[in-house]
Structure 1
Amino acid sequence: MAHDFLFKFILAGDSSVGKTAILQRFTDAEFKSATEYEATVGVDFKTKNVSIEGKEVMIMTWDTAGQETYRSFTRSYFRGSAVVLLVYDVTSRSSFDSIPSWIKDVLEHADNPNLGLVIVGNKKDSALRKVQTDEGAALAAQNGDLLFFETSAKTGEGVHEVFIDAAKQFYKKFQDGLVDFTSDSQGLTLGPKQINQSGKCSC
């Protein structure tokens, strides 16, 4: 389907926090149990077109491996991204405690000064919660008032909002003239609908 813009999103975080399940829920409205997933090796990606401020935006989301073995490989994907979603599991204190380390990695390796950074607490449907909502919100606030969401890939709650709100925030930066679409580092490229309009952006 023709689109106006393509935004590059990255999913990152520790292994088994539900990154692949979140992406599957967003793009295909499906959920598989943990036993039905194999751990992501390297990276994988999916796309979905959404409407943002009347524009057709293709969100291309790269799902990265959370294992330490692939950490250096994952870091390379932070470059040239528009938005990075850092995911933890609300039933796993260790996955939450590692988020500051992930933030550090993103800030050190991403080359987009207008990068959108989002913290996502997944598995909010579980009764085995170890990390409270206000802890996630506080962490987001402490790191520059980042967007923060809690989601359930199982029920779908909050998943759509994560991607849409992050895309809206990034698109506003573009509208404000902060994002240079001619630069490979910005995580945004013009789609066919924009390119075909007399070679000039109609936004």
Structure 2
Amino acid sequence: MAVDSLWHYQFRIVTLGDSTVGKSSLLKRYAEGVFLDSMNQTVGVDFYVHFVELEPNLRIKLQFWDTAGQERFRSVTRSYYRNSAGGVLVFDLTNRASFENIRNWHREVIETVAPQPVVFILIGHKSDLESERKVGQKEAEKLATSLSARYIETSAKTNRNVKEAFQILTSGIYESLKSGSMRPSEHWDGIKSKLPPIIQPNMQPEERIKNCQC
């Protein structure tokens, strides 16, 4: 059986942030287990896939869309927002401007996908460059709270918190699925399922009366 068929849910996730903050390095470390000191800037959108077992016998396929941070690609990358269940907001801890632009990236996604919800995580990247830090942890945590997101600091170079960051996001999407705030749909590619719905809609009292055979 092909590996790609061995999943129960597929979550589509988009990565967002300024150019050179390390979005591609993070995904390459997580999905392929490697770190490259220098990577070419993403042109348009790149694609990564990773499989996780979130719970025993519950296999999730994570489909990552790695978007370019340059303005000239924005019209291309926006088209990938609408079909995303998760958003990875990445800034460079040594680059103050990349942190200040996070609200813009978040707002752009929200305005594109509304009213469809998106689960976000805020990542402060390049934590190995502590001596060059320009953004404090408490300040970043405050921003994350205002965006209804979790915050974590990572380093693709040292592999610090890389797995943990994507675990948090995956769990957040799954919780939204279980709560019913997100649902698989043939008209939306954010979540695909090979299982029956986790939450069955409750039948309203008037529907029960209408359907009664007594």
Q: Same fold (TM over 0.5)?
A: yes
Shift in Å, 1:115: 1.1
Q: Check if 1:81 corresponds to 2:84.
A: yes
- After TM superposition, the score normalised by the length of structure 1 is 0.90
Which residues in structure 2 correspond to 1:53-64 (within 5 Å)?
53-54=55-56, 55-64=58-67
Contact 1:112 1:186 in 2 (8 A): no
Amino acid at match of 2:46: D
Pairwise CA distance, 1:117: 1.3
CA 73–168 in structure 1, closer or farther in 2 if over 3 Å, else same:
same
Change (3 A) 1:202 1:131: closer
Sequence identity (%): 34
Residues 1:133 and 2:101 are matched in the alignment = no
Letter in 2 for 1:44: D
Higher deviation after alignment, 151-160 or 178-187: 178-187
Does structure 2 conserve the Cα–Cα contact (< 8 Å) formed by 1:180 and 1:186?
A: no
Deviation of residue 173 (structure 1)? 1.3
CA RMSD of aligned residues (A): 1.6
Question: Against the structure 1 CA distance between its residues 112 and 24, is the aligned structure 2 distance closer, same or farther, given a 3 Å change threshold?
Answer: farther
TM-score, length-normalised on structure 2?
A: 0.85
State the Cα distance separating 1:132 from its structure 2 match.
1.1
Separation (CA, whole Å) in 2 of partners of 1:45 and 1:97: 26
Residue pairs, 1:63-74, within 5 angstroms: 63-74=66-77
Tell me, yes or no, if the aligned pair for 2:46 and 2:65 is still in contact at 8 Å: yes
The match for 2:21 is 17
Label 1:31 to 1:97 Cα distance change in 2 as closer, same or farther (>3 A): same
Gaps of 5+ in 1: 195-199
Match of residue 42 from structure 1: 44
Q: Which structure has more RCO (C-alpha within 8 Å, separation ≥ 6)?
A: 1
Of 5, 12, 30, 2:9 maps to 5
Does the 8 Å contact 1:51/1:57 carry over to 2? yes
Structure 2 unaligned regions, length at least 5: 200-214
Given that 1:87 and 1:119 are in contact with CA atoms closer than 8 Å, whether structure 2 keeps it comes out as yes
* Deviation beyond 6 Å, 4+ runs, structure 1: none
